[in-house]
Amino acid sequence: MLDDFMTRATLAGVGVAFAAAPLGCFVVWRRMAYFGDATAHAAILGIALSLTFQLSVFTGALAVALAMALTVTLLSGRGYAMDTLLGVMAHSALAFGLVAVSFLSGVRIDLMAYLFGDILAVSRTDLLVIWGGAVLVVALIAWRWSHLLTATLNEELAYASGFNPRREQLILTLALAITVAVAIKVVGVLLIAAMLIIPAAASRSLARSPESMALIAAAIGAFSAVTGLRAAYMFDTPAGPSIVCVAAILFACLSVVGLQTRDRSKLN
């Protein structure tokens, strides 16, 4: 069954959706959209280092994404505004990564595949990495769920409850780095933030609790992956961007439905 490239692509897309869903909810709640984008951009430098030292792309992307996220977390609040710090580091890492790739000799690299994904070329080994990363991210978020929620709502309440909200931030940072590393093959560096944010944002109008929002976001992400792949196959369009387009259409439709529901509730 896994010999069929479309089956492997579908499983890869669903795996990334499951990893990105709960993490994307925290990204939306904490207004960390730019943080996720910056971490994803830094992964290009990790890819260049992986090719230079003949390591797996996952290893290099994970190491640099984690280093980037940790650096931003540690430097925030020390003289620089967060958006300024993210902007400088994100675009610097992306630029250095692209320049480093250009210096690689004797290595054939499809840069577009890393920027926008190449989900149709996913191998069995890639599937193991993607699903292993997805399971790890989901387990990590589930383990710290209540603490992460408390730290997201109110840092002072977190301290009063006996735990450090900064540690929960580092856990989210680790989960984000893992998600970025496993999603590169599927949607590419430039679209990873979209798969984190759009399904989570789309689920807000349907959710009645944080847990239901994470589950609905996972369902929206998985549906977007399956439908986007089928649309790409039918219309001969890029697979990664097609997945994001389906998610964006769902977000628009659910937003309209949510607005109409709120308007009717106000009238009643």
Whether 234 shows a pLDDT value over 60: the answer reads yes
- The better pLDDT of the pair 170, 228 is held by 228
Whether 62 shows a pLDDT value over 60: the answer reads yes
> Model confidence at 149, in pLDDT bands (50, 70, 90)?
very high
Cβ-proximal residues to 151 (8 Å cutoff; 6+ apart), any chain: 158, 163, 165, 168, 169
Residues 13 and 186 sit within 8 Å (Cβ to Cβ): yes
- Dump pLDDT digits (tens) for 70-116: 787 777 666 666 677 777 877 888 888 888 877 776 656 677 788 88
Whether 3 shows a pLDDT value over 70: the answer reads no
* pLDDT (average), residues 110-139: 88
* pLDDT (average), residues 137-165: 90
Domains and CATH numbers, the chain: 5-190 (1.10.3470.10)
Q: Return the pLDDT at 197.
A: 92
Q: Return the pLDDT at 253.
A: 93
* pLDDT (average), residues 159-172: 86
Whether 163 shows a pLDDT value over 80: the answer reads yes
> Model confidence at 49, in pLDDT bands (50, 70, 90)?
confident
* pLDDT (average), residues 29-58: 82
* pLDDT (average), residues 217-221: 95
Whether 61 shows a pLDDT value over 70: the answer reads yes
Q: Return the pLDDT at 215.
A: 94
Q: Return the pLDDT at 31.
A: 82
Whether 1 shows a pLDDT value over 60: the answer reads no
- Dump pLDDT digits (tens) for 244-254: 999 999 999 99
* pLDDT (average), residues 177-203: 89
* pLDDT (average), residues 185-214: 90
* pLDDT (average), residues 9-31: 91
Q: What percentage of the chain exceeds 70 in pLDDT?
A: 91
Residue 147 to residue 49: CA distance in whole angstroms:
35
Query: Mean pLDDT across the chain, nearest whole number?
Result: 85
* pLDDT (average), residues 210-226: 95
Among 12-26, 32-46, 198-212, 225-239, the range scoring the smallest mean pLDDT is 32-46
Whether 261 shows a pLDDT value over 90: the answer reads no
